[in-house]
Structure 1
């Protein structure tokens, strides 16, 4: 193992590298989606909600890989904008997320902008490079999920 790898000042911090890349990517997508009035996080959530009719909070937490508290915090702006409604479920203890007409319109307006962002990112990264990056990230996500489940 390289000695620099364990030096926090060397620039080799795995977490910092992931965070920097995620920040730059998010910033780019947010700018591309700004004319639709939505962020990439909001757009991604709306798309997933649009694919599931009457999605329960519990199901959404699993799909978004978020705990319920974080999910609720992320859903509040969507509800405030009128893009979703959260309604009581059949058993009164459960709650369901429903995409509104305004939410559906937002998804339809933002999708071409997201598609353009995808094309531009692919142009920057290159198709072959992106496939390699995606496979590597998929493997990292699987390994990390497994390792974290073992630790906690």
Structure 2
């Protein structure tokens, strides 16, 4: 075994492996990029007192008919408890309404209020401008291919 390989007996990892992970780990770099992108959108939405996560949540409710909580949680890749916690401030601001499903009282339907739709309409041009700026940063590669690759990576292989 070379010195650069992990030695199961001494329970150490060579620094060369740390550098290899730093330079090649998809998880690390996707997380760093996600945080950087979220900060860019958070900064852009700040004048509307909105975060990038709240914008995504509001946009996920912009549908012809109110979605179930489970559908929104699945779309946003979060559990229902986290979704509920994220909905509370939006509901308090009067942007979102949560109502029982008339077909199944255990289920909850989510919808934008008039104020929620108005805020979303104000936020969309900000999103579009920020999105265009970010896409221009990856223009030499291929922003559409990057998006397709990220979507592919985020698909649950067990579904």
2:50, 2:99 → 1: CA distance? 23
Match of 2:145 in 1: 132
1:68 to 65, 76, 80: 80
Higher gyration radius (CA): 2
| 1:19-98 correspondence to structure 2 within 5 Å | 19-90=31-102, 91-98=104-111
Give the SS at the match of 2:109. strand
Cα distance, 1:110 vs. partner? 0.5
Structure 1 residues 59, 100: closer, same or farther in 2, change over 3 A? same
How many residue pairs match? The answer is 145
Give the SS at the match of 2:98. strand
Cα distance, 1:128 vs. partner? 4.8
Of stretches 91-100 and 130-139 in structure 1, the one that deviates more from structure 2 is: 130-139
Structure 1 residues 72, 112: closer, same or farther in 2, change over 3 A? same
Of stretches 60-69 and 83-92 in structure 1, the one that deviates more from structure 2 is: 60-69
TM-score, scaled relative to structure 1: 0.81
Give the SS at the match of 1:88. strand
2:119 to 106, 110, 132: 106
Give ranges in structure 1 of 5+ residues lacking alignment: none
| Aligned structure 1 segments of 4 or more residues deviating by more than 6 angstroms | none
